[in-house]
């Protein structure tokens, strides 16, 4: 019987520092057979290992259409992420996955897509944006509103500019008041306000909202006033996950194991979870 906790080996092919404490890593499977058979859906996550230090769960933030590597992005916050921060091209890491459910990209076909993110929440949104752009004729208007505390906290800023060049795509960048720089050309204000000011039409739209709890909480009334039903609003929960396979119970939330039933939930589903999650 296979050991479900045994990771596959991956070789790091590139690392990129986005902010003072946020980095992304591209890695490919060391064994060609594993690379050929591997597949995942956008929105799923993996367990990434820094050998000798431990493992952590991160969203696979690359598009599922990209076959040569997978990418993950993390903030340096503790033992494992500090070890991952030091890795470089040619180093080996471990990977288990993919785990969890995914964004229902097929169900979203024919609809307008609204992506709302704050801070480090851009990576788990990024995979869905790229997938939609690579299948552009399947979706309607695409709106991306992304904010952070200050300009230096924004990640994948070059890709934001690239996305804005696609047809029927609108990208709004914003930073909290006081977080702007003299050359800042984006908006100043919190994500919910920037989104409301954008004047996006709600008809036939779905929204993916990921960010700090306060951002999500303040965004929900805006979406409600627009008339977007809770069943058409999605989010992704990655916090508290550890084993990834429903064994440790760390991500248990009432009757739900986030790593098994999630991490993607609609806001309608979230209303059935304990309020402290």
Structure confidence by residue, pLDDT tens digits, 112-151? 999 999 989 999 999 999 999 999 999 999 999 999 999 9
pTM confidence score? 0.95
Rounded to whole angstroms, the Cα distance separating 221 from 214 reads: 12
**Looking at residues 226-247, what average pLDDT do you find?**
90
Rounded to whole angstroms, the Cα distance separating 176 from 72 reads: 26
Q: What is the DSSP string of 99-116?
A: ES----TTTTTTSEEEEE
Rounded to whole angstroms, the Cα distance separating 144 from 170 reads: 6
- In degrees and rounded to multiples of 5, residue 104 shows phi and psi of -80, 70
Rounded to whole angstroms, the Cα distance separating 59 from 57 reads: 7
Burial class of residue 32, CB neighbours in 10 A (0-12, 13-18, 19+): exposed
pLDDT digits (tens, 9 = 90+) for 147-176: 999 999 999 999 999 999 999 999 999 999
């Amino acid at each position: 019987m296979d050991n479900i906790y045994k990771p596959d080996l991956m070789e790091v092919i590139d690392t990129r520092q986005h902010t003072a404490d946020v980095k992304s890593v591209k890695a490919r499977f060391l064994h060609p057979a594993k690379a050929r058979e591997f597949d995942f859906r956008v929105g799923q996550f993996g367990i990434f290992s820094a050998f000798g230090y431990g493992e952590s769960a991160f969203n696979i933030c690359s598009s599922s259409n990209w076959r040569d590597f997978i990418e993950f992005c993390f903030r340096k916050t503790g033992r494992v992420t500090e070890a991952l921060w030091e890795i470089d091209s040619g180093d080996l890491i471990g990977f288990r996955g993919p785990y969890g459910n995914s964004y229902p990209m097929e169900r979203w076909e024919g609809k307008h897509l609204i992506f709302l993110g704050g801070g480090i929440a851009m990576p788990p949104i990024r995979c869905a944006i790229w997938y939609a752009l690579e299948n552009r004729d399947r979706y309607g208007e695409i709106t991306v509103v992304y904010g952070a505390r200050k300009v230096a906290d924004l990640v994948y800023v070059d890709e934001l500019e690239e996305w804005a060049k696609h047809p029927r795509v609108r990208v709004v960048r914003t930073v909290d008041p006081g977080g702007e720089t003299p050359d800042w050309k984006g908006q100043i204000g919190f994500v919910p306000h920037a989104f409301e000011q954008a004047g996006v039409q709600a008809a036939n739209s779905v929204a993916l909202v990921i960010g700090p709890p306060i951002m999500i909480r303040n965004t929900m009334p805006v979406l409600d006033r627009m008339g977007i039903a809770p069943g058409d609003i999605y989010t992704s929960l990655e916090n508290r996950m550890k084993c990834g396979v429903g064994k440790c119970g760390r991500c248990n939330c009432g009757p739900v194991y986030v790593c098994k039933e999630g991490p993607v939930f609609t806001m309608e589903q979230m209303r059935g979870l304990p309020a402290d999650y």
